[in-house]
Structure 1
Amino acid sequence: MNMAVTGPREGFRGHSLADQMQARLIDRVDTKFLVPVHLLDACLRGLEHHYSMLEIDGNRRFTYDTLYFDTPGRQLYLDHHNGKLNRFKLRIRHYRETGDSFLEVKKKSNRERTIKNRLPLTPQTVAIGQVSHFLEEQLGLPVAGMLPALFVSYRRMTLMSPLGTERITLDTGLAFHSVDRQNGLRLPDVAVFEVKYDRKTPCSPLLDRLGQLGCRPVQFSKYCIGTSLLFGHECKTNRFKPLLRRLHGICS
């Protein structure tokens, strides 16, 4: 996997986190793709002049550790499985290289819009009770019944178009673990592209390339797929079976 990821990333010009934060995509479309890692070089080769890559202190790949929360009956998972609109996910995301952590609420509206809000987790925000205020403000309901449900980790690279109208994340090294660490699964052969672009963007070189390689868009939730893989014997998985078969095909 390292050879497939390392080769193309060195050819991209770097951009800073400040550059990326300035390029906010207001009315955006999100599209995800599952790609075998051995195709990554073919996906990215020749696109260096179309995108730059996030670089912080000389690093271009960053490790994300995420803890998802759910009810004891996995209601948030079931809401997604059943296609419920106005659903949400609750998680703590930790950036291993910088040491920063955030409490995040990711909502899906009944218009299929994704809205993410987050609160930095620092001794100050915890001490003055901002966590409870943030959750009440975002969700408007008690979350005392939420429990840690799943650990997810992966490594990410981020590309951005020169005008900031398109942003691409590339996740590799996906790993899922139960909260007690008794169950776990790694997907070293799978890469996840997510292309986020402004609705007015005329074209996307990467989307064109993925189409040429026969890659098709998928609906992919790391939390839901990880839950299906580790706890499929305990919960419904019918909605995700085509995607699970796709993963099996890549990994076999």
Structure 2
Amino acid sequence: MVSCFSLNAFESHSLADQSSSALMDRVDTKYLIDAAELNQCLAELTAEYTVLEMNGCRGMAYDTLYFDTPGRQLYLDHHNGKLNRVKVRTRHYRATGERFLEVKVKTNKLRTSKQRMVLTGAEPDARTLRHFLQEQLGLPATRMLPALFVHYHRITLLSRTGHERVTVDTDIYFEHSGEHQRIGLPGVVLVEVKSLRHQRRSPVLDILKRMGHRPVSFSKYCIGTALLCRGRIKANRFKPVLSKLDALRAPREYRYFKESSWNLQLMSISLSA
């Protein structure tokens, strides 16, 4: 995990506290910053925010597997600017062992809504998964295939008002199992501000603006896919973000020839008939 300002300087909150401000229907504002700037940013937020603590940990590891059609229709919908676009993913919270299947929707009003179902047991019931996706997407779940694995560490801050949540993602890397390829973003931090409505000012927004940062459009699924499939998939829409990553001395490519976390039980969920 990126070395950063001691999170012990923050007062903590529990997952139950955070659940009361789940923000499942929200507005997201994202920023890419250099990891060297993270200390300064966090140090200025201790009076206005608390940090999520679970099982004594204040930084959590996340594993996410995105699904798409064989032709990557969900990726192309985003690239082509389609409104009311969706992402389908499973998410594993390592700190608690919880797993979810999620459908995330970006509406034509630029709001983000998320529907999720809890995954239980080593092998979740395929029929239940198919029904959930059919209900949320209106298309056969059998068309969904594993497309991209994403791993990162996350710090979650909650404003003392309870109306804003800030996630800080570090050590992001993407894997495409079929090509034994991994691309990481060392030294890059993704800061995401989640609120009930568009807001121009808040403690974290003011600090990021003062540091010279502007919001960016950043989808982990789309950027990871664009990086791993460079030259083989349309990516013009994401060039500004890819250039920003290059300026932050990322990405870095790794080759690996062993079974990886892609193949955890979470990743082996079958959505086929």
TM-score (norm 2): 0.86
CA distance in 1, matches of 2:44, 2:140: 50
Q: Where does the alignment leave 5 or more consecutive residues of structure 1 unmatched?
A: none
- Report the CA distance between 1:251 and its aligned residue: 1.3
CA distance in 1, matches of 2:113, 2:197: 16
Q: Check conservation: 1:107, 1:116, Cα contact below 8 A.
A: yes
**CA distances 1:204-237 after superposition (whole Å, capped 9, x unpaired):** 1111000000011000000000001000221101
Amino acid at match of 2:78: H
Q: Give the one of 141, 144, 148 matched to 1:143.
A: 141
Partner of 1:100: 98
- Report the CA distance between 1:144 and its aligned residue: 0.8
Amino acid at match of 1:204: S
Q: Give the one of 229, 234, 237 matched to 1:236.
A: 234
Partner of 2:15: 17
CA distance in 1, matches of 2:22, 2:198: 14
Per the alignment, in what secondary structure is the counterpart of residue 226 of structure 1?
Answer: helix
Amino acid at match of 1:246: K
Q: How does 1:163-242 map to 2 (within 5 A)?
A: 163-180=161-178, 182-199=180-197, 203-242=201-240
Q: Check conservation: 1:175, 1:185, Cα contact below 8 A.
A: yes
Partner of 1:71: 69
* Worse overlay, 173-182 or 149-158: 173-182
**Identical pairs, percent:** 53
Q: Check conservation: 1:35, 1:192, Cα contact below 8 A.
A: yes
Partner of 1:61: 59
RMSD across aligned positions (CA): 1.9
Change (3 A) 1:235 1:127: closer
- Report the CA distance between 1:108 and its aligned residue: 1.5
CA distance in 2, matches of 1:207, 1:22: 22
CA distance in 2, matches of 1:26, 1:99: 21
TM-score (norm 1): 0.93
Please tell me whether residue 154 in structure 1 is matched to residue 152 in structure 2: yes
Q: Check conservation: 2:13, 2:50, Cα contact below 8 A.
A: yes
Q: Check conservation: 2:2, 2:170, Cα contact below 8 A.
A: no
Partner of 2:42: 44
- Report the CA distance between 1:188 and its aligned residue: 1.4
Please tell me whether residue 2 in structure 1 is matched to residue 2 in structure 2: yes
Q: Where does the alignment leave 5 or more consecutive residues of structure 2 unmatched?
A: 251-273
- Report the CA distance between 1:198 and its aligned residue: 3.0
* Worse overlay, 210-219 or 194-203: 194-203
Q: How many residues align?
A: 250
CA distance in 1, matches of 2:95, 2:214: 32
Amino acid at match of 1:2: V
Change (3 A) 1:164 1:174: same
- Report the CA distance between 1:99 and its aligned residue: 1.5
